[in-house]
Structure 1
Amino acid sequence: MSGKPSYRETYGYLPEPCVRLIESGADGEELMLRVIARLGGTAIRIPVRLTSRSILVRELGDSDATRVWQIWRGKGAAGEIEVDVPRMSAAQQKARRLKLLSLLAGGVTVREAARRYGVTERTIYLMQARARDLGETSLLPKPQLDLFPAA
């Protein structure tokens, strides 16, 4: 794997509403994660016209709500439609782990990474162990050389 991993490598299977969000533009992944964080695990009714009373506007704000409404409504959909927004907790954990590992691979210390993400240093070490177990070793920091190598 070279360069930035695809969203399928990062998240695995994605439900269709998430695929439409993630493929919507340069910041599609961030938009998808914001939508999941605010609306994950619920069925959302997408109205014909977006108003300030809509749950999309209340939860996401005007600009994100308008964008999500346009993506999910598409062209020519008649009447209200319903979209099931998944929680994707496993995918979110994997994305967070990969971002943390890429920080560490870039030279950020465990202490600094823990501070940035609001977790403990122990959590970072557990994430590294999980990555080793899952074979995500390309982003792990290189092991330290042995000070006293065996003769």
Structure 2
Amino acid sequence: MESMKDNTNGQWIILSGLVISLILIGLATLANQAVIAGYHSSNAALEFPKESIRELNSHTRDNARIIKDLTLHINSTSNDTVPFIYEGLFKNYSEQIEGLYALHGETADLTLVSVNSTNGTVNTSDIDMIFVNITYFDGNTYYSSRPEIIEVNE
């Protein structure tokens, strides 16, 4: 019986098994946290509406040029001034964009600030640039460009 008290070989085996199991549990926890952190960081990058904001700006620029062409065409057959016609067409476009974005649960607001020309008289000449306030909100991300300067000459 006395010889069994002095034999410590079994204690070293148990102690080494305990240390190895704790190391494995720690490594498994770290690996699990790395996977979860990678998932959340990549998911956060996907939630940012970069493409929606870029599309809103791009469509506004393209349609501002189209509205300018329509304004000059309507002005040739109408007694209304160029800024009045442009403001009416742009307001109609803004209302349509607001409705389209509202269908997706987002808010897009386009407000025409001013219509400018290089020679100062917009009533009889061509439109050079417009100033537009663009705001976008999807519940998480708020974007505002005040004023966005759009050159409508091609």
TM-score (norm 1): 0.24
Bigger radius of gyration = 2
Bigger strand fraction:
2
Greater RCO (CA < 8 Å, at least 6 residues apart): 1
Bigger helix fraction:
2
